[in-house]
Amino acid sequence: MPPTPTPLSALPVLVTGGGGFLGGAIVRQLVARGARVRTLSRGAYPELTRLGVEQIRGDLAAPAAAQRAVAGCAIVFHVAAKAGIWGDYASYHQANVTGTENILAACRQHGVTRLVYTSSPSVVFTGRDLEGADESLPYPARFEAPYPQTKALAEQRVLAANSPPLATVALRPHLIWGPGDNHLVPRILARGRAGQLRRIGSRPNLVDSIYIDNAAAAHLLAAEKLFPGSPVAGRAYFLSNGEPLPLWTLVNRILAADGQPPVTRTIPPGVAYAAGVVLEILHRILRLEAEPRMTPFLAHELSTAHWFDISAARRDFGYEPQVSIDEGLRRLAEWLRTRPSEQSSAPEQPRRNPDKHG
């Protein structure tokens, strides 16, 4: 008879990046269950203090910070990452690969038994359509951006670390959104207001997304079923709402939640790709830190289908989306009505604080 993992409510838990969008949602769900929660982030977050969460400030790339945060914990949710479509490879490697290696080393040192790692479907993205893709997809031979490349390297290290002392699992949520989003939604809304959004091509390419509460709940469900030798251990799982929509339908519905008109202007995919190449070159030559408005990676992301078979997550740890896209958009619209100033001032700069997974 397989062992029964100790309930999360009875364990000391670490959430890296607990001040970020997904990390914060995981923290709130853990606290609601009565878990003793600690976070590791580069910043300090008053909302976590109000929840009674122990906060440790430090950089994932520093082994001492990882050791200090992991000590005394039985389970780790490693959510923190440097997300983005542009930037120096070394900075992504330091946050996403070195940071993950430090967390793994600390888990081994301090006897952590379960590690849930937040990965990304972009680790298998080749620039072509992904339709009903499952976890049998291999990693591509080359990547178009540092983020998916370093997330793939980190995921491989996490899965290779699965062992009798430390059970590991990698979760791949796609396009997380909802109230409190500080990445995807603000960028869509800010660029919509500025008139900078263009449909890439005319294909109705289907794309998966996942509402924030569903993404967080999936992490807790996977942790509950994670133990050495379990079907979950040593595996990667796609996560989504299971409701793929044409990409620009989703974008336009997010814009509508803010009272903005839909995107109607279109540019050919080839033009978007060429513009991305030119803009990347210019940003390198001019040493610009801001993200280019277009990159080759983004052009392919916006012009191809990427939706996933989530039957493995349903089967192995009972994941079932509880908040539909329709309900999520209703909640998003309500939240936006109460926080217009925060959304209108959303930054367009790349994220430097690796406390949020994109």
Strands (E), the chain: 12-16, 36-41, 54-57, 75-78, 114-118, 130-133, 167-173, 176-177, 199-200, 206-207, 210-211, 235-239, 245-246, 266-267, 306-308
Helix, strand or coil, per DSSP, at residue 130? strand
Q: Tell which residue, 168, 148, 147, 172, has the closest CA to residue 158.
A: 168
Residue 169: its H or E element: strand 167-173
Query: Of 45, 117, 147, 273, which residue is the catalytic one?
Result: 147
Q: Tell which residue, 39, 48, 105, has the closest CA to residue 77.
A: 39
C-beta of residue 131 within 8 angstroms of C-beta of residue 307: yes
DSSP assignment letter at 43? S
Token reading at 104 = 């793994």
C-beta of residue 20 within 8 angstroms of C-beta of residue 82: no
d(CA 228, CA 168): 8
The residues, ordered by sequence, that sit 6+ positions from 45 with a Cβ below 8 Å of its Cβ are: 18, 19, 24, 39, 55
d(CA 183, CA 123): 19
Q: How far is CA 243 from CA 152, 157, 184, 240, 342, in A?
A: 25, 31, 18, 8, 28
Strand duo 167-173 + 235-239: pairing = parallel
Is residue 139 part of the annotated active site? The answer reads: no
Residues with a catalytic annotation lie at 147
